[in-house]
Amino acid sequence: METVGSSAQIIPFPDPKRWSAIAKIYIDYLTLGDPRAAFFYLEYQLTALNLKEVPTVLKREIEREYRKRGFRGPVYFGKPW
């Protein structure tokens, strides 16, 4: 909990139920051959959730979805250009 002055402000943690939906759409963009769209989609979702970087749980969910679709190798989370 973060305190501001004399009042306490509760900062909600993002709902982990959304991770699988975000991962599926991210992998959809990657497998359709549009890594820039995947990157911008992920950045948009992180901004909407007030996150500065990809949480480890979301990275694992994305990697799980990637392997579930039969792909091997690393998944890149950085800028594709």
Q: Where are the domains of the chain?
A: 16-68
Residue with token string 């749980």:
57
- pLDDT, residue 28, reads 96
pTM for this predicted structure: 0.78
Q: How do residues 4-62 score in pLDDT, each as one tens digit?
A: 555 666 656 777 788 999 999 999 999 999 999 999 999 999 999 888 889 899 999 99
Q: How confident is the model at residue 79 (pLDDT cuts 50, 70, 90)?
A: confident
3-state secondary structure the chain: CEEECCEEECCCCCCCCHHHHHHHHHHHHHHCCCHHHHHHHHHHHHHHCCCCCCCHHHHHHHHHHHHHCCCCCCCCCCCCC
